[in-house]
Amino acid sequence: MTAKPWGGRFDAATDRRVERFTESISFDHKLFEHDVRASIAHVEMLAEVGLVGHDECQQIVRALIEIRAEIERGDFPFVLEREDIHMHIEAALIERLGDVGRKLHTARSRNDQVATDFKLWIRDGLDRIDAGLKALQRAFVVAAERHCNLILPGYTHMQRAQPVLAAHYFLAYVEKSARDRGRVADCRKRLNSLPLGAAALAGTSLPIDRDSVARKLGFDSIAANSLDVSSDRDFAVEALFALTMIAEHLSGWAEEWVLWSTKEFGFLALPDSLCTGSSIMPQKKNPDVLELIRGRSARVVGSLTSFLVLIKGLPLAYNRDLQEDKLPVFDAFETVESCLELAGVIVAAATLRDDRVGERIEEGFLDATTLMERLILTGVPQRSAHEAVGRLVAACERLGLSKLVDLPDAEFARTCPTLEIETLRGVLGVANSVGAFRSAGSTSPSEVAAQLEQWKRRLESPTS
Ligand code: ARG
């Protein structure tokens, strides 16, 4: 039987079924590096304030580093009796150092310890996510440059709406990722105050220096209210929401590209190495990676939801329910990290088929709205201009024509008698239509070129 840290109060050993039911080592072992990092900062502070000797501190730090190396190598035995990673590391320390090891937990509870480790883990995770988002932004920018002359049909309601430059399309996702990165940065900022030193719930009567620990661990401040600390998981919820938005963005993009890779669209070519086939239909080539990016967003939404339900109604300070906080967080980070990686791979390797897009780009009256705006510029009220162009489109339908530009002059003369036909024809066709845009943020070629330049510069800088 392994002695429990709370053994003094107990006469009987813990029931095996209770140990199995209450353990968290099977998943919180992932926190080992952060637990060691926080313990080193803690014991150094204990030495600074005289609660442990400097020599004792050195022994403890050395042993913690050894333990960390053993866990990294896979040489460290995890056992059910030592509930969690915190108890494992402390027990290993005591095995090595005896009474000196028994000093590490001075002025500390697993409640503030677990909150600290978890914050450190999430902070590292957020940094990895930010790097993944930045890499994806770069991939979108490269794709924008690669397709800088291509015009795509823009859709609303999945119906052809107005023409857009392909670069404008790719930069739309760069913007979404920029907001995602903003949410990650906000979350990181608010997360970055130190729980350690709150002890169980009320703080400690021992003369600790929390600011010193905060500095060592890279926290900007110390959490102000010890009672708040051990129940606070806001940072995890915020991180999960940031991850959920990333997953939602990726899912929408993946859906679009699944459609684009169909025969019906034919816009997208994916290399064989990034697709899979069918075990029964020999001709199939499926965009499974995109489908799974779309599908995995469900897990991330689920993680956020289950976390919110977990903490709903918990009273102040630590409650054991909180042990369940790690699984959804670990899963969401892993899922989003891998989705970001694969999204980057797909964006870099996919080609938009200029030929296929071009074949039918003049269909669907994408230039109708620019034609209406041309009429407005000459003084026609918007509602009348809308009606006039609507009549031109109806005339095309009646005559079996797929493009406004194919309408005979007589139709234009009848519908818009006050205008020179050449003026009207000047905005017809998708190239003319795109060229007519001018508002800030629009698909106008000069706007898009400026945005592309701006993003290239921003993403080159290592700090942004
Ligand atoms: N295994 C627990 C967890 O992960 C550690 C904290 C336990 N604290 C306590 N007072 N029992 O949440």
From first to last of its 464 residues, the chain has per-residue pLDDT tens of: 468 888 888 988 899 999 999 999 999 999 999 999 999 999 999 999 999 999 999 999 999 999 999 999 999 999 999 999 999 999 999 999 999 999 999 999 999 999 999 999 999 999 999 999 999 999 999 999 999 889 999 999 999 999 999 999 999 999 999 999 999 999 999 999 999 999 999 999 999 999 999 999 999 999 999 999 989 999 999 999 999 999 999 999 999 999 999 999 999 999 999 999 989 989 989 999 999 999 999 999 999 999 999 999 999 999 999 999 999 999 999 999 999 999 999 999 999 999 999 999 999 999 999 999 999 998 999 999 999 999 999 999 999 999 999 999 998 888 877 777 888 888 999 999 999 999 999 999 999 999 999 999 999 988 88
8 A C-beta contact, residue 421 and residue 409: yes
Residue nearest to ligand 1 atom 11, measured at CA: 320
Residue 236 sits at φ, ψ, to 5 deg, of: -70, -40
Please give the single-letter amino acid code of residue 190.
Answer: R
CA distances from 308 to 249, 300, 313, 314 (A): 21, 13, 10, 11
Taking CA 32 as the corner, what is the angle to CA 210 and CA 38, rounded to the nearest 5 degrees?
10
Q: Are strands 351-352 and 268-269 parallel, antiparallel or unpaired?
A: antiparallel
Quick one: pLDDT at residue 219?
98
Cα separation, 271 vs 285, whole angstroms: 10
- Pick from 230, 234, 226: which is nearest to 189 by CA? 234
How far apart are the CA of 69 and the centre of ligand 1, in A? 24
Strand partners, 160: 155
Cα separation, 128 vs 160, whole angstroms: 38
8 A C-beta contact, residue 448 and residue 167: yes
Quick one: pLDDT at residue 461?
85
How far apart are the CA of 53 and the centre of ligand 1, in A? 28
Residue 351 sits at φ, ψ, to 5 deg, of: -120, 135
Quick one: pLDDT at residue 298?
98
- Pick from 195, 7, 206, 193: which is nearest to 87 by CA? 7
Q: Which two tokens stand for residue 35?
A: 């637990």
Cα separation, 391 vs 368, whole angstroms: 11
**The residue to which tokens 């990165």 are assigned:** 181
Atom of ligand 1 nearest to the CA of 200: 10
Q: If DSSP codes are grouped into helix, strand and coil, which group holds residue 172?
A: helix
Quick one: pLDDT at residue 116?
98
Ligand 1 first shell, C-beta below 6 A: 24, 28, 83-84, 110-111, 114, 318, 322-323
Q: Within a 13 Å sphere around the CA of 417, how many CA atoms are in the beta-carbon half?
A: 1
Q: Which two tokens stand for residue 403?
A: 């493009």
Segments making up each domain of the chain, as ranges: 18-106, 111-359, 361-460
Strand partners, 286: 276
Q: Where are the beta strands (DSSP E) in 323-462?
A: 351-352
Atom of ligand 1 nearest to the CA of 23: 1
Question: Which residues are known catalytic residues?
Answer: 157, 278
How far apart are the CA of 111 and the centre of ligand 1, in A? 6
Residue 72: how many CB atoms within 10 A of its CB? 11
CATH code of the domain made up of 18-106: 1.10.275.10
Q: Which CATH number fits domain 361-460: 3.20.20.120, 1.10.3720.10, 3.50.30.30, 1.10.40.30?
A: 1.10.40.30
Quick one: pLDDT at residue 54?
98
Atom of ligand 1 nearest to the CA of 326: 4
The alpha carbon dihedral of 155, 160, 165, 167 has a sign of: positive
Quick one: pLDDT at residue 261?
96
Cα separation, 98 vs 93, whole angstroms: 8
Fold of 111-359: Fumarase C; Chain A, domain 2 (1.20.200)
Cα separation, 118 vs 112, whole angstroms: 10
Quick one: pLDDT at residue 463?
81
Q: Are strands 221-222 and 193-194 parallel, antiparallel or unpaired?
A: parallel
Of 20, 81, 323, the one to substitute when testing ligand 1's pocket (max ligand atoms within 8 A of C-beta) is 323
Quick one: pLDDT at residue 333?
98
